[in-house]
């Protein structure tokens, strides 16, 4: 099997005083387009969902940038993100305190549109060998679960129908 391509991302975390600007459990997506001056792909406020993620009286902001932002320091990237987010949430973003960033080289399987029927391929990659994981569906937790379920159903159907339900006969591969 050939390993799927992958995507990288950078996650930045900020502390802010008081309630977050979005108090619903939402992921706010960038509809403006991304470039080096406007790097934010999405932002959410985990403490709106789980208040213990931030000390009392504070909120936690999580910002995702697609890619590793090579050659850009954490502080410069955080500053660029804050400047962009001021346009979304107002002047209070200037007071957000940058906590930490994580540059994740293999954060998701690479899936450059258009994907067409790629997600509908049969999970059997060789006789008795099956492949499942988020790289075989949509690059999400749901995609991983759907892939596993689809693969399990194929294995059950194939081995039940053919009377080959012997332990160890099927090999499942997961990324």
* Model pLDDT for residues 112-159, shown as the tens digit of each residue: 665 655 666 678 889 889 988 888 877 888 888 988 999 999 999 888
Lookup: tokens for 134: 């988020």
Q: pTM, whole model, 2 decimals? A: 0.76
The burial class, CB within 10 Å (0-12 / 13-18 / 19+), for 157 is exposed
d(CA 122, CA 140): 19
Inter-residue contact 108 to 24 (CB < 8 Å): no
Determine the pLDDT at residue 12: 98
Structure tokens at 35: 């470039």
Average pLDDT along the chain = 87
CA 33, CA 103: separation in Å to the nearest integer?
Answer: 21
Q: What is the pLDDT of residue 137?
A: 78
Q: Rounded to the nearest 5°, which phi and psi values hold at 126?
A: -160, 165
The yes-or-no verdict on residue 167 having pLDDT over 80 is: no
Please state whether beta strands 97-109 and 124-126 pair in parallel, antiparallel, or not at all (unpaired): unpaired
Residue 169 phi/psi, 5° resolution? -75, -30
**From CA 166, how far away is CA 164, in angstroms rounded?**
6
CA 131 centroid distance within chain: 21
**pLDDT above 90 covers what percent of the chain?**
59
């Amino acid at each position: 099997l050939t390993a799927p391509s992958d995507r990288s991302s950078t996650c930045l975390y900020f502390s802010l005083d008081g309630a977050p600007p979005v108090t619903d459990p939402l992921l706010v997506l960038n509809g403006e387009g991304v470039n080096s001056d406007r790097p934010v792909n999405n932002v959410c406020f985990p403490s709106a969902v789980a208040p213990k993620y931030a000390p009392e009286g504070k909120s936690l902001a999580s910002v995702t940038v697609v890619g590793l932002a090579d050659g850009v320091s954490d502080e410069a990237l955080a500053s660029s993100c804050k400047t962009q987010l001021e346009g979304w949430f107002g002047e209070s973003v200037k007071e957000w305190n940058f906590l930490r960033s994580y540059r994740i080289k293999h954060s998701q399987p690479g899936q450059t549109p258009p994907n067409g029927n790629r997600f509908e391929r049969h999970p059997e990659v060789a006789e008795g060998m099956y492949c499942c994981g988020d790289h075989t569906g949509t690059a999400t937790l749901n995609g991983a679960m759907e892939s596993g379920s689809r693969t399990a159903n194929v294995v059950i159907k194939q081995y039940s129908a053919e009377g080959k339900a012997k332990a160890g006969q099927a090999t499942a591969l997961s990324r």
